Amino acid sequence: MGFWKAVTGRSGPVPARLDSLFEVPSAAVILQTETGFVPSGTGSVCYRGAAGAAFAQTQQDVLDLLEASSGTPEVEVTRDSFGFTWLTVTGDPADPAGLCTDLHGVNTTLESAGFGSGLLCTLIPFHDQAGRRLGLVYLYKQGTYYGFAPTGPQQRDNLLELQVRDVLSQELPMEQDLKRWLAVWDAPGL
């Protein structure tokens, strides 16, 4: 830490640890064993779109990258009511590694083109036999994960979210500050 940062008590942003997305497939095995949740085969990256030709070209590059990937997943781009863009990838539920590779590609392409500050989160949905839904949310700016378990309109299962944190704490960097566990209501794929 530099002198000025030590004096003011400020620190810079935590660098994204996008390679932790490659740890999700092994965490998914633990999650299935401990809680019965299995991957849904979808995943999405949420980001703030930028105006201009450079961003439009970068987003097109991302779509071209996904179309060139093995298995050619379905890709959909939508905007939510808050103005964020969701790029949703749907592939084979039995291949979470392929899905995470695609999501990693989306994040790194946006980041390397200079749009990393607009990245919000990556969401990997799961479900169980009872029909419960769970999203494993990667916070880009924190480099951590948390579980989001919607149960209805504007309702969530906090106990399940805490259970997921405890189950995956040895597998993934889990967010400990509960204030950062944002609700991602109506997120695509969830």
CA neighbor of 111 nearest in space, from 13, 186, 26, 1:
13
Averaged pLDDT, 144-152: 96
Q: Which residue has the tokens 């299935």?
A: 32
106 vs 122: CA distance, rounded Å: 10
Model pLDDT for residues 69-110, shown as the tens digit of each residue? 767 789 999 999 888 999 999 989 999 999 999 999 999 999
Give, in degrees to the nearest 5, the angle at Cα 138 between 85 and 95: 90
Q: What is the pTM of this model?
A: 0.88
Interacting residues of 153 by C-beta distance below 8 A, sequence separation 6+? 185
Model pLDDT for residues 2-56, shown as the tens digit of each residue? 555 555 665 555 556 788 999 999 999 999 999 999 999 999 999 998 888 888 8
Q: Which domains does the chain have, with CATH numbers?
A: 30-180 (3.30.70.600)
